[in-house]
Amino acid sequence: MNISTAAKTAGLPVKTVRYYADIGLVSAPSRSETGYRTYDGGAVRKLVFVRRAREFGFSIEECRELLSLYEDRNRSSADVKRIATRRLEDIAEKQRELKSLHDELAYLVDACKGDDRPDCPIIDGLGNRHAGG
Amino acid sequence: MNISTAAKTAGLPVKTVRYYADIGLVSAPSRSETGYRTYDGGAVRKLVFVRRAREFGFSIEECRELLSLYEDRNRSSADVKRIATRRLEDIAEKQRELKSLHDELAYLVDACKGDDRPDCPIIDGLGNRHAGG
DNA sequence: CATTGACTTTCCAGTTACTGGAAACCCTAG
DNA sequence: CTAGGGTTTCCAGTAACTGGAAAGTCAATG
């Protein structure tokens, strides 16, 4: 199949599919006589794998690592779990950050009357860190 | 004061302080006879304001907007509240996404034995979307 | 006065993960 | 044969910096 069919099947933009081969994340596809890229089921499955991993927030480098584990019939599940667990910690950390951010900003928004006068705790709160963050 | 003192006081890297003037986010500082940038308290306060806003996840363009409100003695607090509320919704949305991501990945990690055998629900789960995600 | 080392300047390149667009080639339907 | 897609390559741009080179400046020392 041609690139647009492969891309559609994998749920990725055509540009992205080309890009993933350019950076060597997936292997370069074979070409037709006229130079068109041609894809088979296996190539598409790898693209799906990458798309899913990216949706999980794995970086391209992590995808590279996961993909080599995906392709390695002899790797241990512990190797995979290690990477996934690290990623899980990243997510939890990000969640904590977002929560404190949300709470602090919500506090400021709540304190702001939102009327046509210039007094605004949000602006004030951005200018000087408020106590008890 | 020179740029490194200003940067330290504002809690920003020197490079970033220069960058913010380059892109016109803050006005270009005055220069000494030999071309060194010189900062006063007002300039530093604006840098602090930008740093805080960035920490809150406001984009540079939003910072530009907020900064003009910060500098405008006649703007209404409603204008500020509008921007901050939009940002608050972004954060809430991001939190929801992170939660579903976390739950799904945690489910996979939990299902993986993490031993030296190749069976791995994480890899399998990345290859094919699991039901009831 | 010379030197040393820290600080500053400008400018260019690189980062992440793509995305947009131009110019040219290919393919299929009518 | 033409029209309209799809495809190719390559270059540039995004967001928000960050790193580094080469050259000028400053303050303290000998």
DSSP B86-131: HHHHHHHHHHHHHHHHHHHHHHHHHH---SSSS--HHHHHHHSPPT
Q: Is the pLDDT of residue B132 over 70?
A: no
Q: Are residues B53 and B69 in the same domain?
A: yes
User: What would the pLDDT profile of A13-69 be if each residue is shown by its tens digit?
Assistant: 999 999 999 999 999 999 999 999 999 999 999 999 899 888 877 889 989 988 888
Q: In this structure, is the CB of residue B3 within 7 Å of any atom belonging to strand C?
A: yes
Non-local CB neighbours of A101 within 8 Å, separated by 6+ positions: B55, B56, B57, B91
**For residue B91, which residues of chain A lie inside 8 Å, CB to CB?**
98, 101-102, 105
Among the listed ranges A73-87, B12-26, B117-131, which one has the minimum average pLDDT value?
Answer: B117-131
Claim to verify: residue B11 and residue B32 sit in the same structural domain: yes
Please give the residue range of the domain that contains residue B105: 81-133
Nucleotides in chain C near protein beta carbons (<7 Å)? 7-10, 16-20, 25-27
Q: How many domains does chain A have?
A: 2
Residues A6 and A60 in one domain: yes
Q: Are A50 and A25 spatial neighbours (Cβ–Cβ below 8 Å)?
A: yes
Q: What is the pLDDT of residues B40-83, one digit of tens each?
A: 999 999 999 899 888 878 889 989 988 888 887 778 888 888 88
Domain C-terminal end among B51, B75, B99 = B75
Last residue of a domain, one of B75, B92, B112: B75
Measured in angstroms, what separates residue B26's CA from nucleotide C3's C1'?
38
For residue B104, the chain A residues in CB contact (below 8 A) are: 56
**Same domain? A50 vs A107:** no
Between residues A2 and B112, the one the model is more confident about: A2
